[in-house]
């Protein structure tokens, strides 16, 4: 009688049981299956396991993020980019998702989306090494040497001994017409790694009026 009364108060809608909660142990085993397949480089099986993981109630962000990584490992960069984009839409501040998008865009040599992904990372982490180095490389390739010098210099604030950032900053400053700053960076670079590619060449160019 009480159930009939409740149904009547609810507009006559039938009562239904609450959906069963996901079984965490079962989910853990599915996830483990995916990691084992990844170790064997069976990426198709690893991705399939993550689909099953999500269908069985697993966290959609974790499933999508990991799918992006697996697609990337398999060389399926367009699928990786799509998965990372979906993961970032679920967790907009996730650096793993944003950096995954950056990696996928770079792998596809997609200049526009590389820049977009790097900018998205820097909105969350303004001093992120990977994003600043990517932007610096893009700006240098596009002959925007002043911008590239700023990007690499921002890296050097937190990583003053990083040889790649030193080289990037030195060459960018040299190409931007600032040999004095470039010379300082080349001296630091040579002092850390005298065999760094083209470091000696750059240092020698700083003293040449016809560079």
Which pLDDT tens digit goes with each residue over 82-136? 999 999 999 999 999 999 999 999 999 999 999 999 999 999 999 999 999 999 9
**Cα(164)–Cα(88) distance, integer angstroms:** 29
Query: Do both 172 and 211 map to the same domain?
Result: yes
Query: Do both 41 and 109 map to the same domain?
Result: yes
Query: Do both 29 and 106 map to the same domain?
Result: yes
Query: Do both 33 and 72 map to the same domain?
Result: yes
Query: Do both 108 and 158 map to the same domain?
Result: no
Query: Do both 118 and 192 map to the same domain?
Result: no
Final residue of a structural domain among 126, 154, 186: 126
Q: pTM of the predicted model, to two decimals?
A: 0.85
Contact criterion met (CB below 8 Å) for 127 and 158: yes
CA angle, corner 147, sides to 112 and 105, nearest 5? 25
pLDDT reported for residue 20:
64
What domain range includes position 35?
25-126
Backbone angles phi, psi at 23, to 5 degrees: -85, 110
**Cα(108)–Cα(84) distance, integer angstroms:** 14
Q: Is residue 2 part of a domain?
A: no
């Amino acid at each position: 009688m009480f159930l009939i009364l409740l149904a009547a108060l609810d507009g006559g809608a039938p009562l239904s049981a609450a959906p069963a909660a996901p079984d965490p142990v079962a989910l853990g085993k599915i996830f483990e299956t995916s990691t084992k397949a990844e170790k064997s480089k069976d990426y198709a099986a690893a991705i399939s396991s993550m689909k099953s993981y999500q269908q069985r109630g697993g966290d959609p962000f974790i499933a999508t993020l990991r799918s992006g990584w697996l697609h990337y490992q398999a060389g399926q960069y367009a699928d990786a980019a799509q998965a990372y984009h979906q993961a970032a839409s679920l967790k907009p501040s996730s650096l793993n998702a944003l950096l995954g998008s950056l990696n996928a865009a770079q792998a596809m040599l997609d200049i526009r989306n590389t820049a977009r992904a790097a900018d998205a990372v820097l909105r969350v982490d303004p001093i992120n090494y990977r994003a600043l180095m990517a932007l610096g490389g893009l700006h240098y390739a596009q002959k925007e040497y002043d911008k590239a010098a700023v990007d690499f210099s921002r890296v050097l604030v937190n990583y003053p001994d990083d040889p790649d950032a030193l080289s990037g900053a030195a060459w960018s400053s040299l190409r931007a017409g600032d040999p004095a700053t470039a010379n300082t960076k080349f001296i630091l670079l040579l002092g850390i790694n005298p065999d760094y590619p083209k470091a000696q060449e750059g240092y020698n160019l700083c003293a040449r009026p016809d560079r």
